[in-house]
């Protein structure tokens, strides 16, 4: 199943098993954690809107033992503030080669790429998505990103899509049998 579904019981068993093994989720920022729009003040100040439920999803991931990271192609003080508020394990801004940045995150955090998920929305995310065990697209992602995704959220970027992925992983981990 490649389409998002809020009823996680309906997800195929292979996807649930993959989600249960995730130890790190990497999120793009603009178009995933935000709706992709930029708001500019008269003084050049940049504003972004982040969904509160996505932030709570980050907390749920951490409580489940899953690390959280973010990669952004842009630089923004709003992103620094939000990532710090959410206690994200690692984040990078100004990423023009997200595959390299993704691999660098894995090395710093000591995570195997077979235990990673990546949530993206645009073609700049494709190189990192190719490396992730679970590539995911937001509902309003570019068609090439949707085509690469193993799963697609039902909600768009900045509208709770990140929370959907968080819930998928947390629910799958809770349903997975404990190791003996």
Q: Which residues are annotated as a binding site for substrate?
A: 30
Q: Classify burial at 110, counting beta carbons within 10 Å of its beta carbon; exposed 0-12, middle 13-18, buried 19 or more.
A: exposed
In whole angstroms, give the CA distance from residue 81 to residue 125: 22
DSSP state at residue 9: G
Spatial CA neighbour of 38 closest among 71, 72, 70, 68: 72
**CB of 176 within 8 A of CB of 20?**
yes
Q: What is the DSSP string of 88-117?
A: -SEEESS-S-HHHHHHHHHHHHT--GGGEE
Binding-site residue numbers are 28, 30, 121
Q: Give the bridge partners for 63, in sequence order.
A: none
Binding-site residue numbers for Mg(2+) are 28, 121
Angle at 82 between CA 78 and CA 84, to 5 degrees: 120
């Amino acid at each position: 199943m490649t389409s998002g579904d809020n009823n996680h019981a309906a997800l195929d068993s292979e996807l649930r098993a993959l989600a249960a093994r995730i130890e790190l989720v990497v999120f793009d920022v603009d178009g995933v954690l935000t709706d992709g729009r930029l708001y500019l003040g008269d003084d050049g100040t940049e504003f972004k809107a982040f969904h509160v439920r996505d932030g709570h999803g980050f907390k749920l991931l951490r409580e489940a033992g899953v690390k959280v990271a973010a990669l952004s192609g842009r630089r923004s003080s709003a992103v620094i503030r939000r990532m710090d508020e959410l206690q994200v394990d690692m984040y990078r801004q100004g990423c023009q080669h997200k595959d390299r940045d993704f691999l660098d995150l894995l090395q710093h955090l000591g995570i195997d790429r077979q235990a990673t998920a990546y949530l993206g929305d645009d073609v700049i995310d494709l190189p990192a998505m190719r490396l992730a065990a679970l590539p995911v697209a937001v509902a309003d992602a570019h068609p090439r990103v949707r085509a690469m995704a193993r799963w697609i959220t039902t909600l768009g970027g900045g509208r709770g899509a990140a929370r959907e992925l968080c819930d998928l992983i947390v629910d799958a981990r809770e349903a997975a049998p404990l190791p003996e």
